[in-house]
Amino acid sequence: MDKDIKDLKVLIDSQSISKRIKELADEINAKYDYNETLNLICILKGAVMFYTELSKYLKMPIKMEFVSLSSYGDAQKTSGKIKTINLNLPSFENQKVLIVEDIIDTGLTLDFLIKFISHNCKANDVKLAVLFDKKCARKFDVKPDFVAYEVDDKFIVGYGLDYCGLYRNLDYVGYFE
Ligand code: 5GP
């Protein structure tokens, strides 16, 4: 299906997103000890804008890690299977991890990653920050600890979120009617 940017309806504008991410960073800062290193994990590619913006406001020492996972491909619905493109992570034994994701939908991707980081990387604390929570679409028992926005079950793009690889660079979030 071809989609044109002129048909995109704005859901959240650029200023509101920036403001909300700063607020979310304050919520996160309040939950952690500033003296303890936090391993901040970015799920590429969708979380990249949220991740970089959020990390600027975090006050504790941060180590940045990146993984590439995908369950959507070029479609507007999950394939139900996870494609792991890069899952190269160190041990997090006795350490804290905060996973940063663009959007949680069925919960498949995050259910997989949380289990992987807890069991394989041996983290003692794994929390989850998402820019968008599509709560109504949930099929796996995953509850994000920090949520910027709850959204309806519609396909959104912008601010890292894509359709067929496009629209990730938009500084706002929109949807096609
Ligand atoms: P889940 O594994 O929770 O079913 O799906 C999470 C992944 O699906 C997200 O990381 C994102 O790549 C993709 N996704 C889910 N909903 C949307 C959406 O509304 N728009 C876009 N662009 N991607 C979505």
| Mean per-residue pLDDT, 120-124 | 96
* 1 pLDDT above the threshold of 70: no
| H or E stretch at 174 | strand 173-176
Average pLDDT, the chain: 93
Going from the Cα of 162 to the center of ligand 1, the distance in angstroms, rounded, reads: 9
Determine which helix (DSSP H) or strand (DSSP E) holds 26, and give its type and residue range: helix 14-31
pLDDT at 74: 66
Q: Is 156 in the pocket of ligand 1 (CB under 6 A)?
A: yes
pLDDT at residue 71 is higher than 90 = no
Q: Which residues lie across from 70 on neighbouring strands? A: 83
Q: Is the CB of 157 under 6 A from ligand 1?
A: yes
For the chain, the domains span: 16-153
The CB density around residue 25, as the number of other CB atoms within 10 Å, is 19
Can you give the pTM of this predicted structure? 0.94
Catalytic residue among 105, 125, 141, 171: 105
The predicted-structure confidence for 126-168, as pLDDT tens digits, reads as follows 999 999 999 999 999 999 999 999 999 899 999 999 999 999 9
Q: Is the pLDDT of residue 85 over 90?
A: no
Among this protein's residues, is 105 annotated catalytic?
A: yes
Contact 76 CB / ligand 1 (< 6 Å): no
Which CATH number describes the domain made up of 16-153?
3.40.50.2020
How much is the pLDDT for 4?
79
CA–CA gap between residue 93 and residue 109 (Å, rounded): 22
Buried b (16+ CB within 10 A) or exposed e, 93-116: eebbbbbbbbbbbbbbbbbbbbeb
Q: Which atom of ligand 1 sits closest to the CA of residue 101? A: 10
User: Which residue from 103, 100, 157, 177 is spatially nearest to 134, judged by alpha carbons?
Assistant: 103
Q: What is the pLDDT of residues 161-177, one digit of tens each?
A: 999 999 999 999 999 88
- For residue 46, is pLDDT > 90? yes
